[in-house]
Structure 1
Amino acid sequence: MKTFTLVKVLISTLFLLVVPISCEKGKQVIEKKTDNTAEVRRLTIIGDAYFDKSEFSNALQVYEKVITISDSVKDRVDYVDALISIALIKEFEGNYLESEATATKVLPHLKYLKKPRFAWETYKIFVENYLAANDYDNALIYAKKAYNLKTSARRKTNALANIALVYMRQKHYKKAIKVYKKLTTYGYYGNKKKTNTFKDFELQDYAIMKNNIGICYADLGDSRALLYYQEALKIRLKLNDLSNLSHSYSGLSQFYLKSNLSLAKKYAKIAYKYSCKINAYSQKKNALKILIKSSRGNELKKYSEIYIQFTDSVNKSQLTQKEQSANIKYNFKKDREENLELKAQKAEDELEMQRQKNRSIVSYIIITVSALSLLFVVFYITKKGKRDRANEIFKNEMRISEKLQFELEKDIDKILLFTEKSDLEKEENKEQFLSHLNNIYSKTRNISRENSEILTDENFEKVLKEMISGYATPNLNILINGLNAFSWSKIDRVKKITVFRVVQEIFNQVKNHKNSSLASITFKMDQEEIIITYADNSSVTHDQNNLNERFANIENRLKLIKGTFNVFLNQNQGFKVSIKFPI
């Protein structure tokens, strides 16, 4: 009697576990999604109207609403259009990391869209983000990709103008001028017709290229720059082109900086006013730099403090957003994996129950107990994993936050002290002050990059090479050998992440000690092992125990992939690192 009662309880328990899941599944099948297509279309029109008037804050709110309520397949055109617009707004605000991340979400949709304008806009965003990061090679790649699209004459010309822009940023001014003059004289914009026959969007692009010719001539020390600046400004004032007027006034201010300081200051103030209207990060930053150079006394101190607060707040905001974005991606992936595990376990239990249908009561008891035990184990392991991951995320966030706070507070205190004790009217002090500000920006960017997400797809080799090259300085040359001697696509994802972090840790140690002029790193595959060897010519005498302590973190990382680590002194100078791990 007791045995039969126990059986009834266990079967009832299993039934209660399975039935709600089945019911929920049934609900999901019959549930219909709300059709928001009409609302998505209405909001897109409103967002585009705000965007065209350069009211980017309002436009951003509307586009984010479109992303929230739209179906990425059914409303694909409006969905992609909203993503591109958000990426452009983030770029205007100077949030290049989030702009690039948003534009990346467009890439999977491009093959489903017939109109090439979406690909063209996306590639253009990548060009401008890479230019902001001084990555001219990648900027040129995407500029050429945009040019090679089968698209309108206007977009072809604009893409060619972006190629000229990369030349300009690379300081190949004569090459850039040649392309721009060809476009403004014989290209789509010229066609031997007068500018008064152009449409507004043609005039807007025409003015951009004329202004860029002025920048090129100015950097070459050619007085013809002024004519091009004035021509571009005249067009932009006529169009009330808010998004570009700041560029014109900044160019004029820079031109008069050495010959007429009061006029330079006047134009810089106008440039700053227009950049604040549209909240354009790069334009605002450039205008403030010129205001600092053209100001004296209390005004110099005022604009210096504004510059410090502005760059500091933007940098902290970018790092916070990147950490939050990485955390969201991490949790989404974790939840999806846990759901797949539970679904797989449920399917296995149901199949087992079907096979055991005609067996004895004892068999049902064994299966039920096993299923409950297994569910308990899965639940326990999942909960423990969540707790461990949450602790790790918290520790990582605290480490980044403490590092950022320590590094920035120290540098900001230093620059404020320099401002109080130095005469900033002297050119050398002013240049040193701007150099300190740029160092703060670079340091924040480096901290952000050190904690960024690592790509482990087909681009891993390129990402690893870029990370290593980033440690090269005028005083340190780095030789990279054998990186492409074998296929990284065959290497496990976890091992690639470990390799990336281990190599990063090595070069962080080199960067901190700053006493090497030459370093080399070699990658080699030997049968079923990958061997990484690092060596440098450090002039400082190292102690073996000290080296072991410095690289203890690397040894712990390698244990996770069954790798070995050895560090030892060179016979002459410097030290060597040898890393091995199985494929």
Structure 2
Amino acid sequence: MVFFACQNTKKNTAKITNDKVKIEKIIHSADLFYKNKKLDSAFYFYNKARTKCNPNEDVKSYIYCMYYMAEIQQAYQDFIGSNKTAAETIPYLNKIKEPNYVWNIYSVLGRNHFYTYDYPTAMYYYSKAFTLQTDKINKLEAKNNIAVIYLKQQEFSKALSIFHSLSNEKLVQQNPQNYSKILDYIGYCYFKLNSPKALSFFEKSIKIKSQQNDTNGLGKTYYNLCEYYQNQNADLAMKYAKLSYKNYTLSGNTDDSLLALQFIIENNSSHIESKKNALIYINISDSIYMERQKAKNQLAKIKYDSKNEKEENLKLSAQKIKHELQLAKQESRNIAFYIIIIVASCLIVFLYFFLTVRANRQKIEATYKSETRISKKLHDELANDIYHVLAFAENRNLSSEENRNHLLKRLEDIYSRTTNISKDNNLATSFQNFSTSFKEMISSFNTPQINLLINGLDCICWSEIDKDKKTVVYRSVQELLVNMKKHSDASLVAITFKELDNFIILNYIDNGKGTDKNKMVLKNGLHNIENRIYSIKGGIEIYSDLGEGFKVQIKFPV
């Protein structure tokens, strides 16, 4: 790694000289940690050097540190944090003469918007990077990034033209890894343009990557081939999907290995193998999420602590000045004391009237909430129970006396709770055996078209959990399954439970059509789930994208 020391300027004082030397040493330590892939430590030292830099006097060191901090945040997929860090340098970019520094910032901003699917903004930053007078390799990389944006926007002809021009560059041809990537992109463009030329480029890319033992690159090419053969040869497509998963796993690329595993699950005719792969998918997905969330929190804490330390120093200085002023104004304290008494008296009178008015307002709000609660229970609980009964009638043989009796019992229960809704009854079931009641509810959604997996339910000691929390869990999962059956067209649903650090974590995932997370608005069922979870001091996170299924994680204290 190239080490960028703080730029030497006119040394006005010995203090400035000493500070610059300290900053250089800190940056050098950060570079060593970054080179050895100890990103947490590298981030800590880059941040420490950044806080000591004055961007108006030492802009190179400041931008250098901020760029690598943004890179590390991006590596942990904290794209919002990375974007914020990089954007803080924009006001100082016009003060630096080296265009490569500016290119670095524009590139990291472009990648952040690319990874968050904001392709127009990503194209804007990549284009700005391309127009800079930088090294040839930076020019080519910016050009490649622009072509990838065209690829994502399905403008395959434009992308193909750029990738062909890149493949003719000597700098690209001299680097087997980069050259094979370009060949892969060209093959993918031809594939999307329905051209038979695609296969030859994929095969040439595989040959180069195999010689270089590029397992991650092979995973990408094999995945392109499984898509290529998906509608032509199902067996061959599955073969390449498994090869893609194997190579991505060997390279440690867990995100793309999950993509290949998802293809295997969705296209595998073996019911047993699909279940096994689905559990693997869930476990890997959960571990990735927890690891990255932990890393994001750690980086955010480092930035916060440095800011807090600076503010604490300012606070201590302010307190010292305040103490000196208090000593100088000793004689005026008696007057201040009387003023405080008068103000306090006025405040007491004000609080009395304020609390009286608020109490009256709360009575009105309580009446409104009571009416809203009754209306909500009619919509949420009874509506879902009716849909549950309809699902039971749809999926069971009603000629069976046992099924008929069960149906009648459920209808009588709904009728009973309707007449007693004002008494705020709980679920019909007493939850003496929560696991059995829960499984029974879920099994009613299990049809020949929908395969339901439950894992970890019996590992939770439900008898020790508050009845209200069990009600929330029951209703939330019921709401998710109702929404799944109504909207998602899912064929596979997995629900897992686990207890960690006095919290119960519930993961719901299906392979339905999903929804655009940028346009998703919580309303109706999902909004009700969110309110329920918040009522037991829990949290909920929803992940979805078009064509990539629907995932919900619910976490609440035991």
What TM-score, normalized to structure 2?
Answer: 0.51
Q: Are residues 417 and 159 of structure 1, via their aligned partners in 2, closer, same or farther at CA, if it must alter by over 3 Å?
A: farther
> Does residue 255 of structure 1 match 2:212?
no
Per the alignment, residue 140 of structure 1 pairs with 123
Is 1:178 the counterpart of 2:184 in the alignment? no
1:303 aligns with 2:277: yes
Q: Deviations over 1:311-368 (max 9, x none)?
A: 3444455566667777777787678667656644643553676xx6xxxxxx744359
Structure 1 residue 206, shift from structure 2 partner: 2.8
Query: Residues 342 and 36 (structure 1 numbering): CA distance in 2 closer, same or farther, change over 3 Å?
Result: closer
Map of 1:149 onto structure 2: 132
| Greater length-normalized contact order (CA 8 Å, ≥ 6 residues apart) | 1
- Cα offset for 1:295? 3.0
Cα distance, 1:164 vs structure 2: 1.3
The residue that corresponds to 1:161 in the other structure is: 144
1:440 and 1:321 map into 2 onto residues whose CA distance is 30
Residues 1:64 and 1:323: Cα distance change in structure 2 (over 3 Å): closer
1:161-560 equivalences in 2 (<5 Å): 161-185=144-168, 187=169, 189=171, 195=173, 198=174, 200=175, 203-297=176-270, 298-315=272-289, 340=314, 343-344=317-318, 346-347=320-321, 350=324, 364-366=330-332, 422=450, 432-433=491-492, 437=510, 470-471=518-519
1:151, distance to aligned residue in structure 2 (A)? 0.5
Checking the alignment, whether the CA contact within 8 Å between 1:213 and 1:225 is kept in structure 2 is yes
Q: What's the offset of the Cα at 1:43? A: 6.1
Task: Answer whether contact 1:41 1:78 (CA < 8 A) is retained.
Answer: no
Measure, in 2, the Cα distance between the counterparts of 1:415 and 1:216.
45
Aligned partners of 2:236, 2:214: CA distance in 1, in Å?
A: 22
- Sequence identity of aligned pairs in percent? 26
Deviations 1:82-140 (A, max 9, x none): 76556556545655445445545665775565433333233223323322222111111
> Which residue in 1 is equivalent to 2:356?
none
Q: Is the 8 A contact 2:219 2:248 kept in 1?
A: yes
1:157 deviates by 1.9
The one-character-per-residue Cα deviations of 1:477-525 (angstroms, maximum 9, x if unpaired) are xxxxxxxxxxxxxxxxxxxxxxxxxxxxxx75699799xxxxxxxxxxx
1:214-253 deviation line (CA, Å, top 9, x unaligned): 2222223322221222222223333344553321222122
Cα deviations across residues 227-285 of structure 1 (Å, max 9, x unaligned)? 22222222333334455332122212222333344443333333223333443354223
Counterpart residue type for residue 217 of structure 2: N
1:228–1:419 Cα change, 3 Å: farther
Give the whole-Å Cα distance in 1 for the aligned partners of 2:286 and 2:233.
31
- Hey, what does 2:28 align to over in structure 1? 41
Aligned length: 361
Question: C-alpha separation between the residues in 2 aligned to 1:166 and 1:328?
Answer: 33
Offset of residue 32 of structure 1? 8.7
* Matched position secondary structure for 2:31: helix
Distance 2:153 2:23 in 1: 47
| Structure 1 stretches lacking a partner, 5+ long | 1-27, 51-57, 357-362, 378-409, 447-469, 473-506, 515-583
Partner of 1:131: 114
Flag the 1:366–1:73 CA change in 2: closer, same or farther, 3 A: closer
In structure 1, what residue type is equivalent to 2:284? F
TM-align CA RMSD? 5.1
In 2, distance between residues paired with 1:368 and 1:332? 40
Residue identity opposite 1:225 in structure 2: A
TM norm structure 1: 0.49
Question: Could you tell me whether the CA contact under 8 Å between 2:110 and 2:125 is conserved in 1?
Answer: yes
